[in-house]
């Protein structure tokens, strides 16, 4: 049930002063404030039908504003009223560990500022923040701009502390009213304030929505609660969280039919021209726009019903309305989505199947489908160029990333085209399986799986399925549902040892452990007082230079010396603010005893080298591959370490060598490695959001590691004083971890030399085996591969000839096979004995079925160690119900193994060779059963 606040939360002195009265909307049931006693409804144009847009061709402002003018008017107004202008944050929320994208301006300051952990960059402040909301994806286009996937939110924020009040509800509403009436020129009596409750980002509070001529233009939130287990808990800081829709205000001021025309102007016209839509009946479009507030797929209303309503209001039938409107809506959506994608790619989001990369891929594939529908697929790059040129005036990083954006687009397009090619076969296979089960429609769950697991959009599945005479009903809000599911998935947290509950309880009352490893990273020994011993296994000291596992760096090991005893420290963990040492045996110091701690310096120093090297390789990868490279994960160890980076295609050997060369050049420069604690806001202001390479970092202050002018990151690991100490880096391996993520495995120092020597040994061994000098190994290998290919080709040719001969002699006396007939289907069973050459089996079966497509071939054999079985069915046999996949899957279990395939061909096997005869008999019975 929706939380309600009492009327006192909304009864502001301002409303009384200017003659506002509180009323209840008979349509939606919500309370609102108005100066007009005759105002019957809340005035918002929504699916509830409370109102229609009355600003179309009739703007209420003193003049029309361009998007850029409206943004500047908002910022300047609040600057004049004592607010500090703050630069927008990225659209990718890398400073957060609970969401992927920035979907409101307050996201920039949650949770650290709103919960009092860190101070704000200014107080009060004003910002215009580009935001991305994928949950609105289905409504983008059809709602004419009320819903967008990318938009700019104007926020003026004030953070009220117990000992320092900035301003609260009444002044917030006064500021808004002054902006909209005096700055923009809207009449006071046209501004309605609707009561609501806002919940987001773990915080909540009462809010008022500001409505003018049917359009909600701003939401003023009074954030004062934290949501814990669906309960509202009072926060120490009360935050003014406002959201002014800069896109909507621009639309309101121009009175054009859609926000897209107001925001994109000439850019939108160019997309219409590309699509061949040169003449639009603007009067008709305006009449439709007035009613577009009815459209919203977040309500339980389907689009066809809404279309019927609108068609009736504009005196058209539904088909006529769709013919006019759908191409226009598609162009609107392309304008929005291409802007959204350009912003995502410009911030280094690599389209993939995970995290924010999944959302970028979703947007790309929607664009691809829409351009295909508009018959302008070849204009994708032209439109992206238009977006980059248009928005880079305000956001210069778009132009800086132009080449990388275009390269990522090209790679993603190639991947998608490959997906479509493979998808046709996949849909055919699913169709065959459904037909066997006598199901004439692809279920929604299958559509979702095809999209999530194989990247096939439902519209393309529908195209392929209809060729197979299968029905597909695509849910209208399919993409919104998919996006919502992925937006809600929490970011993968950094790998760390989860402390046992008993440890948390045991150390909860202890003071924070002083981390000496930050005071002096080269400290090898220390003395400290024992504060607590837990179960003769864990020791807590008042201070330590033992580093606890975290950030991909393993824990230090070493030993404690006390009272003439020596005990090994085998693990170190951080539990809250307390560092806990795990010892090897039950010999532990008593509480209050002073112990001397000695760390395993060889291990620590090796890990310091590996950690500093990680920063160098990351910086080198960014310089070689581009600014889209971000650290995706890392793990350090003595012999070898790994760094996972975001990249859109496989790394070439040349790129790996360039990264390696640059990283070693950085070593030779012997750059100073500086570490210091900084206020979060100051660090972000100085170094930007590249700080968060390793993900979100909690706390008021963050530890910044700066490696010359090479790299700067928020990092809690131990590091060298200078890069020269690393000595040497060798990248020993590279692999694709998952779509959009590449792994670099590397060694440093003597371990790197050892890796080089191992590869050298391998080359010498190959040289001996092939009887060829090392410098001629490549040519020798090429010659051998060529000869092997020729031999294989000759073998295939011979197998084909044997297969033809064997297929002709099916059923002849003396052959190791049986031939029978079941309901006009010929069953051929052959024992290949020890010669279980699968290629020969397949080719022989193919030759038999070429002559008679009503044949089912069951071929089998064993080499004594394992048994193989293969089933192939001709087209007529499959049509009569034979399913090779089903047969093989069942009989393979008899053999103690597994297998599968398609209805027309499958193979399997197992190690239970003694059961081969039983398996063949079972296969025969299954054929008989399927043909009944």
Q: Quickly list H helices, 556-690.
A: 601-625, 653-668, 680-687
pLDDT of residue 136 exceeding 90: no
Distance, in Å, from the CA atom of 555 to the CA atom of 568, rounded to the nearest integer, reads 13
In this prediction, residue 930 carries a pLDDT of: 86
Residue 591, SS3?
coil
CA quadruple 692, 693, 698, 702: dihedral, nearest 10? -70
208-253: per-residue pLDDT in tens?
999 999 999 999 999 998 888 888 888 889 999 999 999 999 999 9
799-851: per-residue pLDDT in tens?
666 656 655 555 554 454 667 888 888 888 888 876 677 788 888 888 888 88
Residue range 258-273: average pLDDT?
96
Greatest mean pLDDT range, 416-425, 486-495, 795-804: 416-425
* Contact indicator for 873, 882 with CB cutoff of 8 Å: yes
| Residue recorded with tokens 């039950």 | 586
In this prediction, residue 353 carries a pLDDT of: 82
Residue range 108-121: average pLDDT?
87
Count of other CB atoms within 10 angstroms of residue 505: 11
In DSSP notation, 597-620 reads: EEE-HHHHHHHHHHHHHHHHHHHH
- pLDDT band at 12; cut points 50, 70, 90: very high
More confident residue, 494 or 255: 255
* Residue 334 main-chain phi, psi, to 5 deg: -60, -40
What residues have CB less than 8 Å from 922, skipping those under 6 apart? 890, 891, 894
Distance, in Å, from the CA atom of 158 to the CA atom of 165, rounded to the nearest integer, reads 9
Distance, in Å, from the CA atom of 505 to the CA atom of 195, rounded to the nearest integer, reads 44
Q: Half-sphere exposure (CA, 13 Å, Cβ side) for 468? A: 26
Residue range 42-57: average pLDDT?
88
Beta strand 578-583 pairing with 538-541: antiparallel
Beta strand 565-575 pairing with 558-562: antiparallel
322-337: per-residue pLDDT in tens?
888 899 999 999 999 9
Write the Ramachandran bin of 93: left for phi over 0, alpha for psi from -120 to 50, otherwise beta. beta
* Contact indicator for 427, 464 with CB cutoff of 8 Å: yes
* Contact indicator for 127, 88 with CB cutoff of 8 Å: yes
Percent of the chain's residues with pLDDT above 70:
93
591-638: per-residue pLDDT in tens?
999 999 999 999 999 999 999 999 999 999 999 999 999 998 899 999
pLDDT of residue 298 exceeding 50: no
What residues have CB less than 8 Å from 465, skipping those under 6 apart? 427, 431, 442, 471, 472
In this prediction, residue 379 carries a pLDDT of: 96
Distance, in Å, from the CA atom of 316 to the CA atom of 281, rounded to the nearest integer, reads 14
CA distances from residue 357 to 216, 361, 614 in whole angstroms, order as listed: 31, 6, 23
* Angle, helix 266-274 to helix 318-346, in steps of 10 degrees: 120
pLDDT of residue 294 exceeding 70: no
* Contact indicator for 336, 140 with CB cutoff of 8 Å: yes
Residue 63 burial by CB count (10 A; 0-12/13-18/19+): exposed, middle or buried? exposed
* Contact indicator for 262, 251 with CB cutoff of 8 Å: yes
Distance, in Å, from the CA atom of 707 to the CA atom of 709, rounded to the nearest integer, reads 6
Distance, in Å, from the CA atom of 843 to the CA atom of 701, rounded to the nearest integer, reads 69
In this prediction, residue 640 carries a pLDDT of: 92
526-559: per-residue pLDDT in tens?
999 999 999 889 999 999 999 999 888 999 999 9
163-210: per-residue pLDDT in tens?
999 999 999 999 999 999 999 999 999 999 999 999 877 788 999 999
pTM across the whole model: 0.81
CA-wise closest residue to 660 among 735, 747, 737, 754: 747
In this prediction, residue 851 carries a pLDDT of: 83
695-713: per-residue pLDDT in tens?
778 888 899 999 999 999 9
| Residue recorded with tokens 């090779």 | 884
| Residue recorded with tokens 């051929």 | 828
Tokens representing residue 726 in the block: 């690393």
More confident residue, 864 or 730: 730
State the Cα angle at 597 between 543 and 727, rounded to 5°: 100
Count of other CB atoms within 10 angstroms of residue 151: 25
- pLDDT band at 430; cut points 50, 70, 90: confident
CA distances from residue 518 to 108, 163, 548, 607 in whole angstroms, order as listed: 29, 34, 12, 15
């Amino acid at each position: 049930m929706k939380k309600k606040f009492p009327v006192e939360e909304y009864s502001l002195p301002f409303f009384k002063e200017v003659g506002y009265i509180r009323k209840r909307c008979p349509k939606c049931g919500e309370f609102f404030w108005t100066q007009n006693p005759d105002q019957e409804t809340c005035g918002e144009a929504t699916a509830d039908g409370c109102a229609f847009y009355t600003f179309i061709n009739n703007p209420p402002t003193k003049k029309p504003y361009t998007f850029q003018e409206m943004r500047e008017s908002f910022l300047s107004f609040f600057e004049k009223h004592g607010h500090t202008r703050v630069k927008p944050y990225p659209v990718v929320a890398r400073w957060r560990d609970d969401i992927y994208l920035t979907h409101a301006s307050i996201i920039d300051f949650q949770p650290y500022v709103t919960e009092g952990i860190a101070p704000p960059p200014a107080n009060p402040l004003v910002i215009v923040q580009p935001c991305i909301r994928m949950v609105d994806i289905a409504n983008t286009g059809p709602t004419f701009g009320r819903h967008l996937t990318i938009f700019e939110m104007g926020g003026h924020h004030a953070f009220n502390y117990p000992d320092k009040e900035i301003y609260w509800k009444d002044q917030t509403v006064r500021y808004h009213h002054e902006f909209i009436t005096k700055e923009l020129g809207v009449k006071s009596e046209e501004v309605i304030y609707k009561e609501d409750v806002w919940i987001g980002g773990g915080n909540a509070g009462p809010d008022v929505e500001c409505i003018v001529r049917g359009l909600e233009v701003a939401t003023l939130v009074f954030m004062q609660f934290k949501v814990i287990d669906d309960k509202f808990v009072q926060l120490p800081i009360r935050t003014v969280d406002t959201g002014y829709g800069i896109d909507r205000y621009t639309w309101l001021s121009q009175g054009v039919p859609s926000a897209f025309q107001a925001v994109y102007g000439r850019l939108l016209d160019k997309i219409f021209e590309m699509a061949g839509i040169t003449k639009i009946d603007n009067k008709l479009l305006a009449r439709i726009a007035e009613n577009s507030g009815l459209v919203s797929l977040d309500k339980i209303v389907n689009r066809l019903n809404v279309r019927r309503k609108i068609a009736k209001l504009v005196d058209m039938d539904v088909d006529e309305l769709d013919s006019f409107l759908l191409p226009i809506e598609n162009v609107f959506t392309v304008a929005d989505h291409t802007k959204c994608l350009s912003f995502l790619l410009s911030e280094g989001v690599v389209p993939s199947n995970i995290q924010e990369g999944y959302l970028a891929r979703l947007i790309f594939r929607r664009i691809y489908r829409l351009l295909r529908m508009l018959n302008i697929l070849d204009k994708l790059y032209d439109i992206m160029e238009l977006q980059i040129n248009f928005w880079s005036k305000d956001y210069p990083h778009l132009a800086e990333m132009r080449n990388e954006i275009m390269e990522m687009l090209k790679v993603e397009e190639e991947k998608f085209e490959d997906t479509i090619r493979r998808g046709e076969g996949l849909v055919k296979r699913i169709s065959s399986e459904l037909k066997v089960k006598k199901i004439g429609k692809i279920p929604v769950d299958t559509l979702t799986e095809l999209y999530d697991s194989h990247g096939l959009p439902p519209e393309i599945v529908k195209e392929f399925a209809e060729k197979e005479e299968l029905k597909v009903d695509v849910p209208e809000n399919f993409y919104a549902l998919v996006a919502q599911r992925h937006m809600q998935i929490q970011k993968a947290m950094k790998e760390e040892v989860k402390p046992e509950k008993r440890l948390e309880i045991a150390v909860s009352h202890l003071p924070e452990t002083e981390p000496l490893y930050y005071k002096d990273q080269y400290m090898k020994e220390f003395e400290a007082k024992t504060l607590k011993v837990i179960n003769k296994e864990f020791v807590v000291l008042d201070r330590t230079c033992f580093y606890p596992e975290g950030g991909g760096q393993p824990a230090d090991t070493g030993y404690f010396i006390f009272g003439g005893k020596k005990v090994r420290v085998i693990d170190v963990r951080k539990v809250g603010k307390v560092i806990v040492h795990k010892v090897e045996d039950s010999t532990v110091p008593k509480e209050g005893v002073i112990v001397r701690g000695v760390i395993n310096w060889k291990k620590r120093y090796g890990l310091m080298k590996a950690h500093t090297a990680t920063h160098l390789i990351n910086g080198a990868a960014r310089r070689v591959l581009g600014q889209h490279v971000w650290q995706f994960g890392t793990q350090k160890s003595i012999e070898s370490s790994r760094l996972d980076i975001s990249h859109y295609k496989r790394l070439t050997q040349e790129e790996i060598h360039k990264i390696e060369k640059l990283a070693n050049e950085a070593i030779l420069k012997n750059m100073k490695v500086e570490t210091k604690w900084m206020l979060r806001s100051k660090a972000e202001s100085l170094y930007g959001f590249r700080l968060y390479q390793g993900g979100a970092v909690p706390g008021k202050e963050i530890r910044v590691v700066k490696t010359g002018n090479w790299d700067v990151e928020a990092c809690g690991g131990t590091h060298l004083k200078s890069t020269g100490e690393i000595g040497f880096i060798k990248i020993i391996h590279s692999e694709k971890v998952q779509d959009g993520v590449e792994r670099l495995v590397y060694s440093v120092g003597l371990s790197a030399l050892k890796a080089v020597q191992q590869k050298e040994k391998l080359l010498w061994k190959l040289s001996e085996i092939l009887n060829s000098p090392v410098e001629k190994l490549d040519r020798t290998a090429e010659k051998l591969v060529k000869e092997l290919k020729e031999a294989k080709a000759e073998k295939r040719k011979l197998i084909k000839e044997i297969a033809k001969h064997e297929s002709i002699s099916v059923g002849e006396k003396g052959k190791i096979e049986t031939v029978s007939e079941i309901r006009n289907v010929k069953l051929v069973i052959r024992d290949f004995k020890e010669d279980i050459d699968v290629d020969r089996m397949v080719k022989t079966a193919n030759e038999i079925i070429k002559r008679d497509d009503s044949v089912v071939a069951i071929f089998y054999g064993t080499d004594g160690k394992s048994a193989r079985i293969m089933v192939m069915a001709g087209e007529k046999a499959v049509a009569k119900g034979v399913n090779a996949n089903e047969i093989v899957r069942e009989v393979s279990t008899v053999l103690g193994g597994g297998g599968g395939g398609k209805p027309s061909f499958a193979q399997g096997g197992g190690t239970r060779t003694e059961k081969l005869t039983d398996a063949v008999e079972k296969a025969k019975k299954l054929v008989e059963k399927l043909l009944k």
